[in-house]
Amino acid sequence: QQQVKQSPQSLIVQKGGISIINCAYENTAFDYFPWYQQFPGKGPALLIAIRPDVSEKKEGRFTISFNKSAKQFSLHIMDSQPGDSATYFCAASFETSGSRLTFGEGTQLTVNP
C-alpha cells in the first residue's frame, strides 16, 4: 500500500519560474514531513521539513505548504534555477517509528536555462 502519493512524476520549468510538487498521505499518525533532493548517483539530501502543527515553512527559495485536513503537503521552489534540476522526494514518518521514512514516488525536475 502506497501511503504517500507524489505528483507530478516529472516537471519542466523555465529558469526563474516556480516549481510545485505535491504529496498526499494516508496515515494520520504521520507527524514529520521532509523533502529530499537527490542528484544522479548520489544519496538523498534533506532539503526542508515540516511538522503538522504549522501550515507553512520557508527556507530561502524553498517553501513547504501543509494542509492537515486534506492530508496534503507541497514543495514550492521559487526562482527555480538550472542547478535545482534533480529528483525530489517527499516523505513522512511518525515519532514512534524512529527514523523510518515512507517515501513518495519522486518527481524529476528539470529547470531549463
Partner 1 sequence: GAVVSQHPSWVICKSGTSVKIECRSLDFQATTMFWYRQFPKQSLMLMATSNEGSKATYEQGVEKDKFLINHASLTLSTLTVTSAHPEDSSFYICSAGKGGNTIYFGEGSWLTVV
Give me the residues that bind partner 1 (CB under 8 A), please: 32, 34, 36, 41-46, 49, 89, 93, 95, 98-101, 103-106, 108
Q: Is 80 exposed, middle or buried (0-12, 13-18, 19+ CB in 10 A)?
A: buried
Nine cell digits for residue 58: 520557508
Minimum CB distance to partner 1, residue 102 (Å) = 8
Dist. CA 13–CA 32, nearest whole Å: 28
Minimum CB distance to partner 1, residue 72 (Å) = 18
What is the sign of the dihedral through the CA atoms of 86, 37, 105 and 63? negative
Measure Cα distances from 87 to 55, 67, 79 in Å. Answer: 24, 23, 17
Q: Which is nearer to partner 1, 69 or 99 (CB)?
A: 99
Minimum CB distance to partner 1, residue 9 (Å) = 9
Q: Which is nearer to partner 1, 17 or 24 (CB)?
A: 24
Minimum CB distance to partner 1, residue 16 (Å) = 27
Q: Which is nearer to partner 1, 32 or 62 (CB)?
A: 32
